[in-house]
Every structure is written in structure tokens, then in C-alpha cells.
Structure 1
Amino acid sequence: MDNRFGEMQVFIRVVETGSFSEAARALRMTPSTVSKLIARIEERLGARLLERSTRRLSLTAEGQTYYERSQVLLGELDEMERGLSRGAASLGGTIRVNASVAFGIIGLEPILPAFWKAYPNIVVDLSLSDEIIDLYLDRTDVAFRTGSLPDSSMMARRIGIARRKIVASPSYLERHGVPRTIEDLARHNCLGFNFRRSSPVWPLKESGRIVDRAVRGSLLANNGETVRRMAVSGIGLARLGDYHARADIAAGRLVEVLGDVVQVDEEEIHALYLGGSRMPQRVRAFLDCVVPPLQSFLAAE
């Protein structure tokens, strides 16, 4: 292994102490090891760097040049490492982030403390909304989007897949019965959304065919978290992402229905951002920090 920087450190210490034995003591090495390292440098360079006598060591002309250049190179190395180590702490500015309410609360928010520990001077301007926003008009740096990607100049990093499930609370199912077919949804209270891109239709797949089932219910909300809470309260059926209903299903607060009838209903989630190669360093740092744990979060069963 090439360890010329380490050899330079030994050489500088020999010059500064004027003795192989003193340098060895300071470096916690043996004098013979120090002597062999200096001999190896001289052999590689094909030049004598030190004049040895019983009383003292002195630098040759080549040794003086090697000593001065070694100091410069090691100084640059130290400065580079100090710059990198303080780079995270010195990186600042504001990152404007948009995510759906559920994804933001359950997936993104728990990661932010670790991000701020690494980058304490970066401000995260976080907006949670299930509405689709325009990154240009809203001056958003990163948006987490579910569904097909827009055809644009925006860059994307894939987070994973969100699988939709139809769920209800045990108390609701006791009162109204468990739906066995897609047609049964017509007689159930199906909780829905009121934002512009929403539809009073649940696109479902049954036996290889797409069934657009029109649904009605007593709630139209602008975010999935409200729908989830109302489903847990026993108000009706909800169609939610698996990551959103995961904890409630595990705790028995919600039960999946029609899972044996409806085929897997899934959409991809991406982090969209602007800039490409000209992306601000703070945005790159944010993506590098949050994307891997978000990918693990979505992949968890």
C-alpha cells in the first residue's frame, strides 16, 4: 500500500527533532523502523536526503526540497480534511420541501432530527399537502410525489412503491358487514377527498380487468390523514397507502377488506427536484440524507 504521506510525516519529525531516536519516541516507533523508512524514501527517490554523523543529522539540498514540499502537501491535506469535516456544519440556507400529509408525518418527519444533526444550519421549509403543487411557481426545491411522473425537465429519485389498501375499523365492519365484492362498495360509506385531482371513483382491478367503482361517503377531506383518523373512528371505508395504514393494521385498529378480490393497486413515489448538475449543495445533502431511510421505510412490511 502506498503510504507516502505517512513517510513524509516521519521524515518531517526526524528533521524537526534532529534524531532518529527522538522521532521514533515521538511517533511511538522503534529507531530501526524510522531508519528503514528514511532509507526507503531515499531509495525510491534515488537521492540522499540526510547526511548522518555521530553527532547530528543535516539535510542535503534534495532533503531540504523534500522537507519543504512535504510540509506544504501535508498542510494542504490537513486543510482539506478540516474543510470537509466542517463542511456539513457550515452548509446553510433554506430548503423548501413539499410532501403529502401522510408521507410527511409518518415517513419524512421522523428523519429530520438526524438531518439537522448533520446539517444544523439548514432550514427546512416543509409544506404538507395532498394537492399537487408546481415546483417552479411555488419555489419548491424538493417534492415527494405519488403516481406517474410529469413529462418535464425535473429530476427524480425513486423512493419506492405505495400499495393502496381498502380498510375499515372492526367496529364499522361489525355494524355494516364486511364487503365481499367490489359491487358491495355501493352500500358502504366510502370516505373520500375533495382536492382537485381527486375523483369519486376508486380504480380497482378484479380478475385482470379495471373496475372504476363510483363511491360515496359522508366525508370529503383534503388529506389522507383525516381520512385515516375517521376510518379508525369507525365512520367508513378508506382507500389508503399501505405505509399509511401499516401501524393501525398491526394494532388492530383497521382491517383490510377485499384484499382477496382486488388485485394489487400500487403507485410509485419519487422525490422530484430542479437543477440537475447545478443543484444547490444543501439540496443535494438533503436528498442524500433522507432518500435512503425513506426507501427503507416504504420497503418495510
Structure 2
Amino acid sequence: MDNRIGEMQVFLRVVETLSFSEAARSLRMTPSTVSKLIARLEARLGVKLIERSTRRLALTDEGRLFHERAGALLADLDAFERELAAGAGTPDGTIRVNASVAFGTLGLEPLLPAFWQAYPRIVVDLSLSDEIVDLYLDRTDVAFRVGRLSDSNLVARRVGVAPRKIVAAPDYLARRGTPRSIDDLDGHNCLGFNFRRSAPVWPIRSGGRIVDRMVTGTLLANNGETVRRMAVAGAGLARLGEYHARADIAAGRLVEVLAGTGDAEEIHALHLGGPLVPLRVRAFLDFVLPRLQAFLRAGPAG
């Protein structure tokens, strides 16, 4: 194992005390151990650092240079560690957050001004995408995921449940008719997604269980916000999270159809685990999670 820092510390203590035995006593080592460490250091460097005699120790020219540089290096290391330790007690720095377009826009973004009032030294690097990101590869601190989680060593904190609704614009229903049963979906333009993980099916509640219903349509989008806008524009039926369609339903821009047949998806906040989660990440999660939970629970009246 590389122990150059330890060797430097021993060398500096020998120079400070001008004695192998005194250095060994202060470091709780044996004099022979100290002597071996200095000999190993000199052998690796290929130069003599200390002239030894029975009466005194003296630094060579190379020893004086090594003493100067090693002292500065260890002082910088100590300062760096103190800086990190101080930062561990003060929430600051950058936190990289990923969320779906709809959940980030409607749920997360409205919370940020109040978060910055509480934590003005934290920078939120926010990316909105409905694609699944790799927290390791994308250097993401927190990712909000909608739907089933895959097995991983990430820590998952549950945010809540997002019921899904099938919705359409009133003018679309006036032109194409309102579906009265699941079988009626065959005659409608069902707006969908183009994710690699996405299949052309809608999970539908039928007979007390969820079944996958094949659907077809003229739109495949990479985010729910595009699907919502096209539904509002009268392009077809859309399957959206309740929180995503909430304002449009309240305003009459969208109408729920086949009520009671929608499924629900859980939302989690994922982050890297371990006991040393940065304070800025803990502060962010502790601030936004209860507010996001309230946002999901608000329902149509919220």
C-alpha cells in the first residue's frame, strides 16, 4: 500500500525533533520502525535525506528541499480537509436533480424559490427529461422516478402515488365520440410515447385487475408534456398523471373518460446511498419531499 503521506509525516517529525527516538516516542512507534521508514523513503527517492552520526542528525540539500515541499504539501492537505469538514456542516454547493418534464415543471419548480430562501448557497442543476438517467454516469444526485423501480443499490424515498387518467379535449370527443367501454379504445387515436422501455399498451383497470390494452395513435412523443398539449389541441386521447391533467380538467380543456379504469404509478426520489450523503442533498430532500407529497395528495380540488 502506498503510504507516502505517512512517510512524510515521520520525516517531518524527525526533522522537528532532530532525533529518531524522540520522533518515535511522539508518534508511538519504535525507533527501529522510524529508521526503517526513513530508509525506505530514501531508497524510493534514490537520494540521502538525513546524515546520521552518533552525536547528531543533519539534513542534506535534498533533505532540506524535501522538508520544505513535504511541509507545504501536508499543510495544504490539512487545509483541504478542514474546508471539506466545514462544508459538511453548511448546506452549500451544487445538487444535480433529474425529473420528468411534467413532474418537474408542475411539482418541483414551484418549490425552488422558497428552497433558495432557506438555502441560498445551494445551486440546483435541474434537468427535466422523461428518459431514465443513470445517476452514476450522469453525475446526478437526486432523480425523481415515476413508475416501477428496477433493482439497484440506490436509496429510494417514496414521494406518493400518481393516479392515471384517460383524457381528451371536448372538441375531440364531439368529433369522434366518447368511449363508453375499454373496447371503444380501438376506434380512437391514442397518443403515446417513443421510449425504448415503452410499449404500445395502456394499463387499464378491468374486472378488479390491471390489464394491458393495445392502443394505436398518430403521435409518439418523448415526454408527457407534448402528449398533454396535443390532447388539449384535440389530437386524441391521452393517458396522463392526475397531477399533470389537473389544471386542464379544472379549466374544461380536458375531460376524463372511462373514469375508474385508470391505473396508478408510484413516484420515488432516488439518490446514492451510504452514510455520508452530502448535507446539501439531505437538505434538498427534507425540504421538497413533504411538499411534493402534499402536491400529489391535493387532487382535483388542490
2-structure distance, mates of 1:131, 1:107 = 18
Q: Does 1:174 align with 2:174?
A: yes
Counterpart residue number, 1:142: 142
* SS of alignment partner, residue 276 of structure 1: coil
Shift of 1:183: 1.1
Preserved contact between residue 94 and residue 122 of structure 1 (Cα < 8 Å): yes
Preserved contact between residue 91 and residue 283 of structure 2 (Cα < 8 Å): no
Percent of paired sites with the same residue: 74
2-structure distance, mates of 1:186, 1:214 = 8
2-structure distance, mates of 1:181, 1:171 = 19
Q: 1:223 to 1:137 in 2, by over 3 A?
A: same
Question: Could you state the TM-score of these two structures normalised by the residue count of structure 2?
Answer: 0.68
1-structure distance, mates of 2:212, 2:95 = 39
* SS of alignment partner, residue 245 of structure 2: helix
Shift of 1:241: 0.3
2-structure distance, mates of 1:253, 1:245 = 9
Superimposed CA distance per residue, residues 4-51 of structure 1 (whole angstroms, 9 cap, x where no aligned partner) = xxxxxxxxxxxxxxxxxxxxxxxxxxxxxxxxxxxxxxxxxxxxxxxx
Preserved contact between residue 201 and residue 214 of structure 2 (Cα < 8 Å): yes
Q: 1:167 to 1:89 in 2, by over 3 A?
A: farther
Counterpart residue number, 2:193: 193
Counterpart residue number, 1:300: 298
Gaps of 5+ in 1: 1-86
Q: Does 1:249 align with 2:249?
A: yes
Gaps of 5+ in 2: 1-86
Superimposed CA distance per residue, residues 259-298 of structure 1 (whole angstroms, 9 cap, x where no aligned partner) = 14x2x41111010101332100000000011111000000
Q: Does 1:153 align with 2:140?
A: no
* SS of alignment partner, residue 275 of structure 2: helix
Counterpart residue number, 1:274: 272
After superposing on structure 2, the runs of 4+ consecutive aligned residues of structure 1 that deviate more than 4 Å are 87-90
Preserved contact between residue 172 and residue 235 of structure 1 (Cα < 8 Å): yes
Q: Give the root-mean-square deviation of aligned CA atoms.
A: 1.8
Equivalent position amino acid for 1:173 in 2: L
Equivalent position amino acid for 2:285 in 1: L
Equivalent position amino acid for 1:94 in 2: T
Shift of 1:232: 0.6
Preserved contact between residue 88 and residue 118 of structure 1 (Cα < 8 Å): no
2-structure distance, mates of 1:178, 1:250 = 19
Q: Does 1:286 align with 2:284?
A: yes
2-structure distance, mates of 1:207, 1:92 = 52
Preserved contact between residue 192 and residue 238 of structure 1 (Cα < 8 Å): yes
Preserved contact between residue 143 and residue 271 of structure 1 (Cα < 8 Å): yes
Shift of 1:90: 5.3
Q: 1:152 to 1:88 in 2, by over 3 A?
A: closer
